[in-house]
Amino acid sequence: MPTMEHLNIRYKYKKLHDSETIRTLTLQGISNSIVECTIQQIGLSDGGYQALSYVWGSEETPFYAVVTDAKGERQGQIPLTKNLNDALRDLWNAEELTSKAFWIDQICIDQEGEEKSQQVASMGQIYSNAKRVITYLGPVEDEDLEQEGRQLLERINIHFAPNYDILCQMHDLPTANANLSKLLVSKMPDNLAGDAVNDRVWEWLLALGFGEWGTRLWIVQEQLLNTENLMLHGYRLLSWDAVVIIPTLFYLELLPMYYMTSLWQSKPWRSTWTPWELSYSFFLLWKAHRLKRQDRRTITPFSGSLFENMVNFERLLCRDPRDYIFALLAISFDSKMLGVTSDYSKQLKELFLDASVSFFLHRQDLDSLTVACQTNKFLDPKYPSWAISSSRPTELATAFEYRVFNRHASPDIRPTPRFHTHGENPCIVLTGRIIEQIFLATSPLYIPRSVNLGIKDMDYWDYVTQLAKNISEVLLNVGITLENAAALARALVINTNWKPTQQRDYLSQSYHLWCYFRHLVKILESLSQWFDLKAQIAPELYHLIKALASLILENNIDKFEPAASLNKTEQDAAMHIWNNDFFQGRSFCTTKRGRICSCMNKIEAKDVIAAFRGADRLYVLRPAEGGRYRVVGDAYVDGLMFGEAYDGLDPDEVDHDIELI
């Protein structure tokens, strides 16, 4: 801890020579438990230093580093967070790091000066020009456990390495999960299975792989802009690839899922996201870095636009909401074209509003409108509903991938948005038409963590009960027919392979829904026994199951027992929907014309559904004053996702300007 001798001597930064200059520090040692270093200015392109990636942690700075000059005379002190103090001590003690020259933002940028915006704008070059990037995972608390854990990490990495090139060919984790049969190694080695490894060692591995270091948004550019990356745990180095692939291996259930569930229940700071959601970002990071090493000419091997990077890494966190944009500029190829720069003098609302306008003007689609729908704009009714904001609640999600559906007669037409002001607020004008109106809207469904983790609790019961009630209400509203049951099945799964085409498709899709209803009943029966609940279990479901049985089984209806367990074929059909459904933050609705739809956010009767030129999906709009609308969310409307609303119509004759506020 600080001594009285240095408490009031703050190190005074010398002004940087110019915009092409940065500071680096060189560790000189540890004296009386206090880190000592020198600070020097070098050219931005000089290199020779190692860039540190780490978690700031608490804002409190109870520690400090003493800065000395070339003669060893003390120039003052720089306050440090606990995490950085730990990192500096371990960097000094790391024998494998022969060079002790580093670039570390907390020390190398004057945190109280005016240079932050300029230095943040240069961070892409800073990390690119570094000799290597070192990610600090924290201090070691148990040396014996550390040794066992490192051995487990190495054995797992070697064992599953034959899968890595195959995984790199997968678009995302759900795609990889659907193609598990293509992996060369699908089982744990015998010497690691069962009780061969102590539970504490597995917990060590999970804490390492899902550590707080990986929840930071800044980590994306820090890890992707350099091809030589290492992990530092305590004062020993670890393989970057071996650590970052851990969440993917758990997601694909190549490693024991039990430990994942146990750890996630016991770590309150992880409550914002489930392990599956964080795994998406880890996988993209791992894949991008592995492909970059194979082709060093690229900045990132995935799309690389600012908008797409914001979508890909939306689950990661940052302290300053403006960094949801600034932290991705260095790896986004269109930053200059969009005119977005790191400017911390810019207000939050102004920054995101300007970025939203740039997305509409420079992109050839309306994908940013969908992301705007995921923003909790209802907290600020004055903020434009069509604009992205920094508030990204976890419970709002789009239900299908971009560029899947062609719901307009002219899907390839580039949108031509126009902007003007309405009062003090900007408005956007898009070309399209209103094609439907909501008649019945159920409440949005929010999937609790217990469902994702397979934990039986009352949240699980409440969720399945609400799900059963909502979808039953929708089907009862439009009528129990094979065609309507198939439409509901498609709305649950939203799969382009399931199209409303032939009668035999209706029968197959209705059969899946029927099995799915029965699966929900079995879940509720199991939970009611588990919690000794006396409440009646979803009576609507029993009615629907019997009614669908008469349509699906026809002559075999006499053999059907409603209470019977599902056979293997029926269970597979039920799980096809259960494993592929899209519910998070979505309402199941019917329209005035009797169509079934799945819509983002809380929907109200009299909301309308619009088709816009240049959009690959439909949108729910809420009427506002003066014939204007606010965007509520994207929409899947069964039977209108492939341009059917324009059959026999000329878009130029029926489309018109729609003003969004």
Q: Is the pLDDT of residue 377 over 60?
A: no
Identify the band that residue 254 occupies on the pLDDT scale cut at 50, 70 and 90.
Answer: very high
Q: Is the pLDDT of residue 454 over 80?
A: no
Mean pLDDT of 158-169: 96
Beta bridge partners of 612: 432
Half-sphere exposure of 163 (CA within 13 A, CB side): 27
Q: Give the model confidence (pLDDT) of 530-550 as tens digits.
A: 887 766 677 888 889 999 999
pLDDT greater at residue 437 or residue 499 = 437
Which residue reads 């009714």 in tokens? 381
Report which of 492, 474, 507 is spatially closest to residue 590, judged by C-alpha positions.
474
Q: Is the pLDDT of residue 362 over 60?
A: yes
- Are 189 and 157 in contact by the 8 Å Cβ rule? The answer is no
Do strands 34-43 and 63-68 pair parallel, antiparallel, or not at all (unpaired)? parallel
- Are 203 and 146 in contact by the 8 Å Cβ rule? The answer is no
Q: Give the model confidence (pLDDT) of 546-577 as tens digits.
A: 999 999 987 778 778 878 899 999 999 999 99
Mean pLDDT of 32-40: 94
Q: ∠416-346-388 over CA atoms, to 5°?
A: 40
Do strands 596-600 and 236-239 pair parallel, antiparallel, or not at all (unpaired)? unpaired
Do strands 618-623 and 629-637 pair parallel, antiparallel, or not at all (unpaired)? antiparallel
- Which residues touch 547 (CB under 8 Å, ≥6 apart)? 480
Q: Is the pLDDT of residue 3 over 80?
A: no
pLDDT at residue 171, rounded to an integer:
87
- Are 224 and 289 in contact by the 8 Å Cβ rule? The answer is yes
Mean pLDDT of 426-447: 94
3-class state of residue 31 by DSSP: strand
Number of H helices, E strands in the chain: 25, 17
Rg, the chain, Cα only: 28
Cβ neighbours around 538 below 10 Å, total: 21
Q: Give the mean pLDDT of the chain.
A: 87
Q: Give the model confidence (pLDDT) of 285-313 as tens digits.
A: 999 889 888 775 554 444 589 998 988 88
Identify the band that residue 214 occupies on the pLDDT scale cut at 50, 70 and 90.
Answer: confident
Mean pLDDT of 360-371: 89
pLDDT greater at residue 300 or residue 28 = 28
**Segment (H or E) for 249:** helix 246-251
* Range with lowest mean pLDDT among 161-175, 269-283, 538-552: 269-283
> Could you tell me where the DSSP H helices lie in 295-347?
306-312, 323-326, 335-338
DSSP 642: T
Q: Give the model confidence (pLDDT) of 328-347 as tens digits.
A: 999 999 999 999 999 888 99
DSSP 44: T
Q: Give the model confidence (pLDDT) of 58-86 as tens digits.
A: 888 899 999 999 888 999 999 999 999 99
3-class state of residue 515 by DSSP: helix
Tell me the range of 141-155, 166-180, 293-307 where mean pLDDT is highest: 141-155
Report which of 272, 146, 292 is spatially closest to residue 207, judged by C-alpha positions.
146
pLDDT at residue 502, rounded to an integer:
55
- Which residues touch 147 (CB under 8 Å, ≥6 apart)? none
Q: Give the model confidence (pLDDT) of 463-509 as tens digits.
A: 999 999 999 999 999 999 999 999 999 999 886 667 655 556 788 99
pLDDT at residue 185, rounded to an integer:
96
Tell me the range of 4-18, 284-298, 631-645 where mean pLDDT is highest: 631-645
pLDDT at residue 496, rounded to an integer:
62
